[in-house]
Structure 1
């Protein structure tokens, strides 16, 4: 199921979509599945399943810590696909977010086929650009998968035009310069970046990097089509060793964020 369906439903409700991220395999494979299902039940419209990677150059310390625990436990691509299958079974569009090297190692065509068979919607590739991603674009198109590339405040108008034209599903607007992580305030670079992207595409534009509460979600939802939250969800699991407490914290945070995108 393409994520565009979730954005269309949100637009029909006159609100932004809420996109939630967790790495597969943290705190365990089954634990991550339970956590992601709780996020769906509490209001996430789209799910991103992270593929743990040993050299996560764009990840902040929170996501790195969770991904490293998954890697230490031996979590691999097959576990990621099992997680996607379990979450997609809820009817919620489910994406994989991954650095490009693991996809190349697995095999681009094989990855596209296996992701499709798992019910996945597509791929977010933070370190792959459309002009160097021809092999992935061809495989994704062959399997009807969404292709989500990133634009940043530093992107030239030419690159924003090129990148948004290659996206299907939504455009990922990285709202802050630097690595991921929840922040006390949202970036003042986000609004102008979204405006620049929207000037050249009708594809929904979602903002990620830094959102940690409903007030921030409401602020971004006032001008973006989607609000992406990752580190704040991961922090809930890092801060609670007790499973029921962790799921309770995740549910409360998701509810706060979901209210935020509706309040806008």
Structure 2
């Protein structure tokens, strides 16, 4: 059982929904990002999604793209991202970390070395948005063999014919992308998302978490009420981009987690 599996078991036993937060590793610099990440569990975050900076983030909107560029400009690399996770783990051995990014940096490092190093750094799961199920032998299957969850995205365009393939080797949870398009491009509506979540849950026993387009406590509550939890990324990254002090960023995160947990 991974930390992700244990967290969902704990939440289920308590009758609670999950709140997942995304931050870009190294944005705006290593030390500030580490301070934010260290503060997330106390702000009510159940699972941390840690963005891996990359030069060509095709699934991300301007907010996340710029966060990645700030991190790269500050010298962030895959190696430094794993170091950040390892630093976090020195004080927290229970909060799950999902590394979210693109395959190129992992491929360049070498899959076997990456998986060994990620596991040692305390990474629990991977979301690699540019590896479809047809490429499962590349990373998904080796990752699961190494004890890491491989989390797949389902979208509004994932029809009933495609869904079984998407779910085939997924573990940890299913990430439902509530809108078509890039991150931060539109707002999620529970009325639209609810039937899609129900359709996915009918096909899997895994928790279904909804992300994209959630930017207020009310939206987090509404989305969590029709799913197993909510993910917020761009709205939090925008606070960091605005130069807000870490304590203000974490207070904003707390308001969102309170919303999701009220569902």
Per the TM superposition, whether the score is higher than 0.5 is yes
TM-score, length basis structure 2 = 0.94
Number of residue pairs the alignment of both structures matches: 260
**1:238/1:12 CA distance change after superposition, 3 Å:** same
Contact 1:164 1:203 in 2 (8 A): no
- 1:1-264 to 2 correspondence within 5 Å? 1-89=2-90, 90=92, 91-181=94-184, 183=186, 186=189, 188-240=191-243, 245-264=244-263
Distance (whole Å) between structure 2 residues aligned to residue 159 and residue 113 of structure 1:
31
Give distance in 2, aligned partners of 1:37 and 1:6: 17
RMSD: 1.5
Deviation at residue 132 of structure 1 after TM alignment: 1.4
Q: Which runs of 4+ in 1 moved over 6 A?
A: none
CA distance in 2: counterparts of 1:186 and 1:85, whole angstroms: 36
Q: 1:235 to 1:162 in 2, by over 3 A?
A: same
1:141 Cα deviation after fit: 2.2
> Which whole-Å CA distance do the structure 1 matches of 2:250 and 2:219 have between them?
17
Deviations 1:102-127 (A, max 9, x none): 11111111111110011110201112
SS at match of 1:62: helix
Over 3 Å counting, the alpha-carbon distance change for 1:255 and 1:168 in structure 2 is same
> Using a 3 Å threshold, how does the CA distance of structure 1 residues 130 and 194 change in structure 2: closer, same or farther?
same
SS for the counterpart of 1:153 is coil
Question: Does the 8 A contact of 1:98 with 1:126 survive in 2?
Answer: yes
**1:158-195 deviations in whole A, cap 9, x for unaligned?**
22122123111100101100100175553654222211
What secondary structure is seen at the aligned counterpart in 1 of 2:7? helix
Q: Separation in 1 of the partners of 2:40 and 2:185? A: 17
Give the secondary structure class of the aligned counterpart of 2:175.
strand
- Which stretches in structure 1 are left out of the alignment for 5+ residues? none
Unpaired runs of 5+ residues, structure 2, are: none
Per-residue deviation, 1:2: 2.9
Q: Evaluate the alpha carbon distance shift between residue 68 and residue 46 of structure 1 in structure 2; reply closer, same or farther with a 3 A threshold.
A: same
